[in-house]
Structure 1
Amino acid sequence: MTTATRQASLYRMVMPQHVCPFGLKSLALLKRQGYAVDDHWLETREQTDAFKAEHDVDTTPQTFIDGERIGGHDDLRRHFGKSVRDPEAVTYQPVIAVFGMAALMALAASWRADGELPTIRAAEWFVAISMCVLAILKLRDLEGFSNMFLGYDLLAQRWVRYAYLYPFAEALAGVLMIAGALLWLAIPVALLIGSIGAVSVFYAVYVERRELKCACVGGDSNVPLGFISLTENLMMVAMAIWMLIK
């Protein structure tokens, strides 16, 4: 029997107030693998609880192939030899996303304003836009950011309010640099927070050799504190110095 003709049974929650996303992912994965799916909807809490009790499982969706229970969505991915995300694993994906989008936005703005892509102004906008996006990520959960930030920032450890002020200062400097306005305020702010941040990261990572998570993209990230975090702060310092010279 070939994979294309094999049958799979999927039991997933489909309720008026909730459609299980992992059920939809399991259904799509099975179809991509060439399975004909007998899609069973668990439309009430009672049906769901009865199914769990009958099969002695704690969660749905559940997939059965040729009468054998495979399990949930992660188990199904493993069954097909696909990777499963580890929520505790360190990752640079958030940072790559921020800097990648900031670069594209800066190039797009440069093309719109100057009709060229690689310009000095595009480089300036890249740093400033990056600062703004990073500030947004911190501000969406200020308490979570402050908790992680206090783990390594030298000034915040001495003056806790700085942990709450930092994202606002980063956003202010970034917006003013994009606008090219009030640079007498933007430059010292960027220089101050960038310098303190660079020293703090260098001391925590390269002197104390501590293994910490970076608060640069918010307080719920698994981005390791290290070279990327140091680069973020050095970019702010370099931008401030460039604006001052310019």
Structure 2
Amino acid sequence: MIPASVVDRSKEFSGKRVLVTGAGKGIGRATALLLAARGASVVALSRSPDDLRSLEREIGCETHAVELADVAAARAAALAAQPIDLLVNNAGIARLQPFLDLDVEAFDETMAVNVRAAMVVGQICARSMIERGTGGAIVNVSSISAQIGFPLHAAYCASKAALDALTRVMAVELGEHGIRVNTVNPTVTLTPMAQKAWGDPGKAAQMLSRIPLNRFVEPGEVAQTIAYLLGAESHMINGVSLAVDGGFLAR
């Protein structure tokens, strides 16, 4: 057997079109870069035209600027991206408020971006895969917040738990069409969004004390896990929420 460390992955996704939402920054951008490096034709969605332009210059990807909280806009962008072989629903927001002060608008916006957009884009991509009879794979980017109650994260935690549940149903219903659906669930990942929640050294130290590996996750490490779940080596993994947490959930 060839050791995994010497396997050439430069053409792993050659001939595949991969749609990545929230591709402008953080995990989404790292995923777009990694998949492009492994031969994929990347279609990138983000609400930031500037981020998309810089990503296009870097990897030559197709881009669509879209506000995914807008259902009609999300559908239009997903339809314009077809045909898609692999999907990464990564777009997400965090509105940090104490539960007693959590306003309905912040809750609804979080659910719209973090869950509903994944459903809308996932429906369109899955229908296309079924019509073409190609099968495929979908990875929804969730969080350990799906299982842990973090202060100020009521809307975010609720959205990620909902995304995990949605993913399991997608896996059950789409599996018969050869479409696998999984989530990747990282702990705090060093992205611009994470800095808002965990930028305070005291708060970060408390979180780090619960991670046996004693560090946060890098976006590239989450991207590698996403690539694994999209690839042929995981062809019997379906409906799984895969933690990338340094052992946080093991305590």
Give the TM interval when normalised to the shorter protein: under 0.3
Q: Which has the higher helix share?
A: 1
- Give the alignment's TM-score, normalised by structure 1: 0.26
- Give the alignment's TM-score, normalised by structure 2: 0.26
Q: Which has the higher contact order (CA 8 A, sep 6+)?
A: 2
Asked which structure has the greater CA Rg, the reply is 1
Q: Which has the higher strand share?
A: 2
